[in-house]
Amino acid sequence: MPTGTADVLLRTEGRAGFLTLNRPRAINALTHPMVLALDAALTAWEHDPAVTTVVIEGAGERGLCAGGDIRAIHDDARAGGSASAAFWRDEYRLNARIARYPKPYVALMDGIVMGGGVGVSAHGSVRVVTERSRVAMPETGIGFVPDVGGTYLLGRAPGELGTHLALTGGHVGAADAILTGLADHFVPSAELPGLVRDLTRLPAEEAVARHTATAPPGVLAEQREWIDACYPAETVETVVERLFDAGVPAAKEAATTLLAKSPTALKATLATLRRSRALATLEEVLDLEFRVSCAALTTPDLVEGIRAQVVDKDRNPRWTPATLPEVTDESVARSFAVPADGDLGLAAARRDGANRRAAGQGIGQAAHDGPGPRPTAGDREPRDRA
């Protein structure tokens, strides 16, 4: 039985293993030790026949997880350290592992689910939202780019909805999370205790089916027309121009929102989304995102964005450069350079593992270093949510 930590509580009950993120004062923001604890639990339960379902939930009333510990990233980036890159290496491996976990992985996405919280939930096989859910990838507001496989998920949302959410950083409720492929089922929050009880004794899909309902209406379906018309543009500048010219108040609001975000992060985000759509697997996208994340550590906007939003909380970031036209194609291209300490290598490891299995080697002979997807007989493919 894995032991967990003070910040990741573990328990087994009936047929289910429960992962409880336990930093409620920080809305369960992820730290590196938490990522390692989650991976260790998944390792133990993957090979435990008594555990047939894994459930992840958040302690407290505010949400599952507000993301990574961005204050720690701020301090590391200011110091020119390597801790953030090391954290992302293990976090992204965990995201890929969750996507291919061979047992049902049920994410209770109640309340706030942002950034890294999306990474430990939206790649799961059974994703539950409630009327309290607020799901977002808000990275452009802190000078960063959607990561943890966020560009994989948003790049496969219907039409240009994912581009809209990635650039604006806007949050969505239950219906729109389901529409965009970030969630599967709506369960009223009052039903969650009953759902948890049923998960301990029933197959996951059967347990969830007993409690699902129709989600309250969202907003994105009605906004598809102007979103799909404005966001296919080649540049962020053209997107903003189209939004202002659309003649729709919500589109104008989106344009104003974009102009408040980091210009560098906006251009890097659009380029990453476009590239991720052309990649076949989550592992390839996570490899790409790792390059972009590491590059962001070297830009002034990440430190400045976190300072303005989290450290000083003046909500007045001073971006460098300050406007979209000042962000050159060359600076965007640098986002995709190989990091100084090398690539993440998830896609290559995946191919190597498949080749070894095809050559007749045993599952246990496949090399594995740190968190991430391990070859298993029941390895499942991430669902195509295009």
Q: Cis (ω within 30 of 0) for the bond into 146? A: no
Q: Which residues in 166-202 are b (16+ Cβ under 10 Å) and which e?
A: bbbbbbbbbbbbbbbbbbbbbbbeebbeebbebbbeb
Q: How far is CA 42 from CA 6, 54, 150, in A?
A: 17, 8, 21
Q: What is the pLDDT of residues 7-46, one digit of tens each?
A: 999 999 999 999 999 999 999 999 999 999 999 999 999 9
> Do residues 148 and 191 lie in contact, with contact meaning Cβ atoms separated by under 8 Å?
no
The verdict on whether 116 is a catalytic residue reads: yes
3-state secondary structure 131-158: CCCEEECCHHHHCCCCCCCHHHHHHCCC
The verdict on whether 147 is a catalytic residue reads: yes
Residue 309 half-sphere exposure toward CB, CA atoms < 13 A: 20
Looking at per-residue pLDDT, the higher value among 148 and 2 belongs to 148
DSSP states of 298-328 as a string? TSHHHHHHHIIIIIS-------SS-SGGGS-
Question: Among all chains, which residue has been given the structure tokens 């986002």?
Answer: 335
Q: How far is CA 354 from CA 75, 192, 195, 379, 381, in A?
A: 39, 39, 37, 11, 13
Q: What is the pLDDT of residues 259-273, one digit of tens each?
A: 999 999 999 999 999
* Catalytic site residue from 69, 90, 147, 301: 147
Q: What is the pLDDT of residues 225-253, one digit of tens each?
A: 999 999 999 999 999 999 999 999 999 99
Looking at per-residue pLDDT, the higher value among 368 and 224 belongs to 224
Backbone angles phi, psi at 121, to 5 degrees: -130, -50
Indicate if the pLDDT at residue 181 is higher than 50: yes
The three-state secondary structure class of 337 is coil
pLDDT for the residue numbered 381:
63
The average pLDDT across 91-120 equals: 98
* Catalytic site residue from 4, 17, 58, 68: 68
> Do residues 91 and 116 lie in contact, with contact meaning Cβ atoms separated by under 8 Å?
yes
pLDDT for the residue numbered 359:
79
* Catalytic site residue from 7, 57, 69, 139: 139
Rounded to whole angstroms, the Cα distance separating 170 from 211 reads 28
Query: Predicted confidence band at 358 (pLDDT cuts at 50, 70, 90)?
Result: confident
Rounded to whole angstroms, the Cα distance separating 139 from 185 reads 25
Query: Predicted confidence band at 357 (pLDDT cuts at 50, 70, 90)?
Result: confident
Indicate if the pLDDT at residue 161 is higher than 90: yes
Question: Among all chains, which residue has been given the structure tokens 């430990």?
Answer: 120
Q: How far is CA 154 from CA 150, 219, 230, in A?
A: 6, 17, 16
Helix-strand-coil split of the chain, %, nearest 5: 50, 10, 40
- Measured from the Cβ of residue 211, the count of other Cβ atoms closer than 10 Å reads 20
* Catalytic site residue from 58, 116, 119, 181: 116
Rg (alpha carbons) of the chain, rounded to whole number? 20
Confidence (pTM) = 0.92
Rounded to whole angstroms, the Cα distance separating 153 from 120 reads 13
pLDDT for the residue numbered 361:
54
Identify the burial level of 316 via C-beta atoms within 10 angstroms of its C-beta, where 0-12 means exposed, 13-18 middle and 19 or more buried.
exposed
pLDDT for the residue numbered 376:
37
Please give the CATH topology (third level) of the domain spanning 8-365: 2-enoyl-CoA Hydratase; Chain A, domain 1 (3.90.226)
Here the tokens at position 227 are 């979103």
pLDDT for the residue numbered 4:
80
Domain boundaries, the chain: 8-365
